[in-house]
Amino acid sequence: MSKISLIIEREYLSRVRKKSFIIMSILGPVLFAAMMVVPAWLASMEDDEVKTIAVIDHTNLYSGQIENTELLKFDFLDEESEEEIRSNFKESGYYAYLVIQDNLLKNPEAIRLYSDAQITMDAKGYVQRSLRDHLKNQKLQTYKMEGLENILSEINQINIEIPTVKIGEDGSEKQSSAELTMFVSMAFAFLSYMFIFIYGTQVMRGVMEEKTSRIVEVIVSSVKPFQLMMGKILGIAMVALTQILLWVVLTILIVTGVKAAFFPDSEMPSGTHAQIEMMQDQNPEAAQQIASMEDGFNFNNILEMVNSLEPLKTLLLFIFYFFGGYLLYSALFAAVGGAIDNESDQQQFMLPVTIPIIISLYVAMMTFRNPGSDVAFWFSMIPFTSPIVMMARIPFDVPLWQLLLSMALLVGGFIATTWFAGKIYRVGILMYGKKVDYKELWKWFRYSGD
Amino acid sequence: MAFLEASGIVKRFANHLALNDVNISVPENSIYGLLGPNGAGKTTLIRIINKITGPDEGTLLFDGKPLRNSDIMKIGYLPEERGLYKKMKVGEQAVYLARLKGLSRNDALKRLKYWFEKFEIQPWWDKKVEELSKGMAQKVQFIVTILHEPQLLIFDEPFSGFDPVNATLLKEEILELKQKGATIIFSTHNMASVEELCDHITLINNGKAMIEGRTEQIRRGYRQNLVNIEFSGQREEVEKILKDNYELRNLNAVNDHFEAQVKMSEDQSLNNVLSGIIGHCTIHSCQELLPGMNDVFIQVVNQKEQPSQNQKS
């Protein structure tokens, strides 16, 4: 036992001290934090430039119908100035100019927006929406209804947002958020996928390094090959945990630090406010939806929604499935590393190991849409895919028996793969310069001896 | 008394018999040569002694008791396929490997200091292994093998990678280890070093022990009644006598005298040869030529090779 801990210590320290680990530990949180902070920052940066658009309306039907915003100003000019602007656009100082040739209700194509540069989506969209609203109102006015003004303002206030409520087994209601649930499900599935892949490959490289540097026989004269394999797998698992912990802690530190330094007034922890502002220009309906969702996001609501996901249970399950999946796959990766002699043989043996991981991610993607489907059920039972697929299902509430069955199968699964991998590993690490195929692996598996 | 006794060792791989009823008995405090062509089964036998693999049949006695897992702490093994972690620092790595053999960190540091000074390699302590030359890395490897002062040492091709100066240094260290009481198993193709170092040998071929015994006895056992005679005088006369009565292998002029190699038949002796030629020349020296281990090796491997021994299972 003390020897396994020696091996774990070496595997852990030699990786944690590497420059690449330190860089990743710092760069990761910086990237995560940037993902949250940069959109807000960019939005606040873009705000200052005011663009002015000239409107030349040959019909005189639309003057004053496009309202100025903070960022977009409109000058309504007379027909004569069109030539002047066209020939002297650079000097005119306008960002773009809009020409309306005809009544747009009759001839919707009689309108053009000119500029010497590509016009932004925001500007084009705003002009489009303003005119569309105006035209809709105009059209309605032709029906000569009474009290139209009131009707219009009432219509424009209609909006719907459906709160989702989860019913507990005892009939109690909990407010839940479909969006949050889906996001959490996606995040967990993807995290499991990423870590199983990255650290499983590290196990394989570690084994290959020992084999190609020929140190392995020196070490197995002191410890059992199985101890060496498990020591490596567990040591690297600790590295993964350290990495996750560092990322979480550093990301929180950076985000709160940046928030305190640059957005002291903002109540929202992330860039959602800024995102809403940006979206308002492009897609008012969606922005409204989010905004109303955000309105409902007072602290108590958030807490209730997060609670409906049972964060402690979810976290514990995540750790269980992550470890289960990691142990299962890293044992197989270790066997591959032990079997091959050089990088070029790697591909043919990597493939059967990586295919189930990739399939799990695809199934997990389907699971977000239909967590109760048969496919999701079966793939969350099979130990090779359950670590990823089950994590995608958990936020949607999984019956207890399914959860327990899946966990039991996963434990059985990694014991089986570790045992299987151990047998191949033991023979493979001492085999040099031999062309290895699946038949050969099967032979190794059947070798006796302890 | 035998320090290590392996009897009836059988090891099968999928379709060949790696070891077929091999017995070796390594006397305490001796240097024991394990010889044989490539693929004969030497490494398999060594791995069995190290408990890296288990035998299918047979027993191993270590210091009189059945070999247990804990006994590998008393064994130092320098494998033929050896290496170190390239990215790790020399000192750190040596401490790690020593601790895997059961030494405490402090003991390991103390002993490493002694050996690094003795081999004059202290400046390498903080270097990464990839910065060392092959010979340098071999020195570190040797130190790590013997650091926990094992009772049994197993060296598989220890001299590969060493220049003549360091090979001599290594040879002296091995002899010193023997003097301090260690028992040493020595596997090599270098027959000159076998003659020089080994007290006993076993020659393995095709998974079977072909000959075993004291090195001197084995060489005598393969003697061919060959003598070397140095003389000066009448060359033609002597040559004629030797040719007529014996098998003359060689006769050359060397500097101011002649040298003849003569093979006698079983019933002839050196006395007959000398009395026959003594009237025609002055004899400077004569000596029986014992076959080198090289000759024994080749003779055994070629003569006794039987194709039927490669059993199918």
Which residue in A has a C-alpha nearest to residue B93's C-alpha? A10
* Structural contact between residues B56 and B41, judged by C-beta atoms closer than 8 angstroms: no
Averaged pLDDT, A149-167: 76
- Reference A73, options A103, A91, A94, A99; nearest CA is A94
- B160-203 per-position pLDDT tens digit: 878 888 888 889 999 999 999 999 999 988 888 888 888 898 98
pLDDT at position A449 over 60: no
In a domain, A387, yes or no: yes
Residue type, B263: K
- Kindly indicate the confidence band of residue A237, based on its pLDDT and cuts at 50, 70 and 90: very high
Residues 94-123 on B with a CB inside 8 Å of A are: 96-97, 99-101
Residues 207-226 on A with a CB inside 8 Å of B are: 209-210, 213-215, 217-223, 225
pLDDT at position B311 over 70: no
pLDDT at position A286 over 90: no
Last residue of a domain, one of A94, A124, A157: A157
Instruction: Let me know whether A105 and A253 are in one domain.
Output: no
User: In this complex, is the C-beta atom of B17 within 8 Å of any C-beta atom belonging to chain A?
Assistant: no
Contacts of residue A425 in chain B, CB cutoff 8 Å? Answer: none
Which residue in A has a C-alpha nearest to residue B129's C-alpha? A213
Instruction: Let me know whether A101 and A26 are in one domain.
Output: no
For residue B7, the 8-state DSSP code is: E
Instruction: Let me know whether A237 and A151 are in one domain.
Output: no
Please report the pLDDT score of residue A437 as a whole number.
77
Q: Which of B52, B55, B144 sits opposite A220 (nearest CB)?
A: B52
pLDDT at position A85 over 80: yes
- Return the residue in A221, A439, A450 with the most chain B beta carbons within 10 A, the one to mutate for interface testing: A221
Q: Which domains does chain B have, with CATH numbers?
A: 2-220 (3.40.50.300), 224-288 (3.30.70.260)
Q: Which of A57-66, A145-154, A207-216 comes out lowest in average pLDDT? A: A145-154
User: In this complex, is the C-beta atom of A443 within 8 Å of any C-beta atom belonging to chain B?
Assistant: yes
When divided into structural domains, chain A yields a total of 2
Q: Do B101 and A3 touch (CB under 8 A)?
A: no
Contacts of residue A450 in chain B, CB cutoff 8 Å? Answer: 54
Shortest Cα distance from A242 to chain B (angstroms)? Answer: 21
Averaged pLDDT, A18-45: 79
Q: How far is CA A337 from each of CA A278, A424, A431, B193, rounded to the nearest angstrom?
A: 50, 10, 12, 37
Between residues A48 and A265, which one has the greater pLDDT? A48
Shortest Cα distance from B187 to chain A (angstroms)? Answer: 16
Instruction: Let me know whether A28 and A77 are in one domain.
Output: no
CA–CA gap between residue B282 and residue B277 (Å, rounded): 9
Q: Which of B13, B56, B83 sits opposite A213 (nearest CB)?
A: B83
Shortest Cα distance from B12 to chain A (angstroms)? Answer: 9
- Reference B295, options B214, B195, B198, B227; nearest CA is B195
Q: Do B81 and A221 touch (CB under 8 A)?
A: no
Q: Beta strand A173-176 with B16-27: parallel, antiparallel or unpaired? A: unpaired
User: In this complex, is the C-beta atom of A446 within 8 Å of any C-beta atom belonging to chain B?
Assistant: yes
Shortest Cα distance from A270 to chain B (angstroms)? Answer: 42
Q: Do A218 and B88 touch (CB under 8 A)?
A: no
Percentage above 70 pLDDT, chain A: 83
Averaged pLDDT, B55-62: 90
Instruction: Let me know whether A180 and A294 are in one domain.
Output: yes
* Structural contact between residues A229 and A334, judged by C-beta atoms closer than 8 angstroms: yes
In a domain, A168, yes or no: no
In a domain, A318, yes or no: yes
Which residue in A has a C-alpha nearest to residue B82's C-alpha? A214
- Reference B247, options B268, B224, B263; nearest CA is B263
pLDDT at position A285 over 60: no
Shortest Cα distance from B110 to chain A (angstroms)? Answer: 19
Q: Do B97 and A219 touch (CB under 8 A)?
A: yes
Percentage above 90 pLDDT, chain B: 29
Contacts of residue A223 in chain B, CB cutoff 8 Å? Answer: 100
Q: What is the number of CB-based contacts under 8 A between chain A and chain B?
A: 68
CA–CA gap between residue A304 and residue A174 (Å, rounded): 7
Instruction: Let me know whether A202 and A321 are in one domain.
Output: yes
Averaged pLDDT, A395-413: 90
Residues 395-434 on A with a CB inside 8 Å of B are: 430, 432
Contacts of residue A449 in chain B, CB cutoff 8 Å? Answer: 11, 53-56
Q: Which of A80-89, A164-173, B144-153 comes out lowest in average pLDDT? A: A164-173
Instruction: Let me know whether A151 and A194 are in one domain.
Output: no
Which residue in B has a C-alpha nearest to residue A223's C-alpha? B100
pLDDT at position A5 over 70: yes
Q: With helix as H, strand as E and coil as C, how does B179-233 read?
A: HCCCEEEEECCCHHHHHHHCCEEEEEECCEEEEEEEHHHHHHHCCCCEEEEEEEE
Q: Which of A204-213, A218-227, B170-179, B262-271 comes out lowest in average pLDDT? A: B262-271
User: In this complex, is the C-beta atom of B57 within 8 Å of any C-beta atom belonging to chain A?
Assistant: no
In a domain, A359, yes or no: yes
Phi-psi region of B36 (alpha: psi -120 to 50; beta: other; left: phi over 0): left
Which residue in A has a C-alpha nearest to residue B70's C-alpha? A222
CA–CA gap between residue B201 and residue B211 (Å, rounded): 8
Averaged pLDDT, A67-84: 82
User: In this complex, is the C-beta atom of B39 within 8 Å of any C-beta atom belonging to chain A?
Assistant: no
In a domain, A167, yes or no: no
- Return the residue in B100, B105, B138, B155 with the most chain A beta carbons within 10 A, the one to mutate for interface testing: B100
Instruction: Let me know whether A243 and A310 are in one domain.
Output: yes
Last residue of a domain, one of A101, A127, A157: A157
Q: How many CB atoms lie within 10 A of CB B307?
A: 6
Contacts of residue B84 in chain A, CB cutoff 8 Å? Answer: 213, 215, 218
* Structural domain containing residue A110: 50-157
The complex's ipTM?
0.79
pLDDT at position B304 over 70: no
Shortest Cα distance from A6 to chain B (angstroms)? Answer: 7
Q: Which of A43-52, A79-88, A299-308, B244-253 comes out lowest in average pLDDT? A: A299-308
Q: Which of B53, B78, B83 sits opposite A215 (nearest CB)?
A: B83
Shortest Cα distance from A440 to chain B (angstroms)? Answer: 10
Q: Do B100 and A223 touch (CB under 8 A)?
A: yes
In a domain, A436, yes or no: yes
Q: Do A10 and B96 touch (CB under 8 A)?
A: yes
- Reference B204, options B305, B82, B312; nearest CA is B305
Q: Which of B81, B96, B100 sits opposite A217 (nearest CB)?
A: B81
User: In this complex, is the C-beta atom of B148 within 8 Å of any C-beta atom belonging to chain A?
Assistant: no
Instruction: Let me know whether A181 and A302 are in one domain.
Output: yes
CA A78, chain centre distance (Å)? 51
Averaged pLDDT, A73-100: 84
User: In this complex, is the C-beta atom of B55 within 8 Å of any C-beta atom belonging to chain A?
Assistant: yes
Please report the pLDDT score of residue A43 as a whole number.
65
Token pair of A274, please? 């800024």
Instruction: Let me know whether A354 and A374 are in one domain.
Output: yes
Shortest Cα distance from B23 to chain A (angstroms)? Answer: 19
Q: Which of A14, A222, A447 sits opposite B88 (nearest CB)?
A: A14
User: In this complex, is the C-beta atom of B81 within 8 Å of any C-beta atom belonging to chain A?
Assistant: yes
Contacts of residue A447 in chain B, CB cutoff 8 Å? Answer: 13-14
- State phi, psi for A425 to the nearest 5 degrees: -55, -50
In a domain, A397, yes or no: yes
Which residue in B has a C-alpha nearest to residue A9's C-alpha? B96
Instruction: Let me know whether A33 and A136 are in one domain.
Output: no
Instruction: Let me know whether A369 and A428 are in one domain.
Output: yes
- Return the residue in B53, B78, B144 with the most chain A beta carbons within 10 A, the one to mutate for interface testing: B53
CA–CA gap between residue B280 and residue B238 (Å, rounded): 7
Q: What is the CATH number of the domain that holds A103?
A: 3.40.190.10
Q: Do A218 and B82 touch (CB under 8 A)?
A: yes
Last residue of a domain, one of A132, A157, A182: A157
Averaged pLDDT, B68-86: 89
CA–CA gap between residue A136 and residue A140 (Å, rounded): 6
In a domain, A166, yes or no: no
pLDDT at position B64 over 50: yes
Contacts of residue A434 in chain B, CB cutoff 8 Å? Answer: none
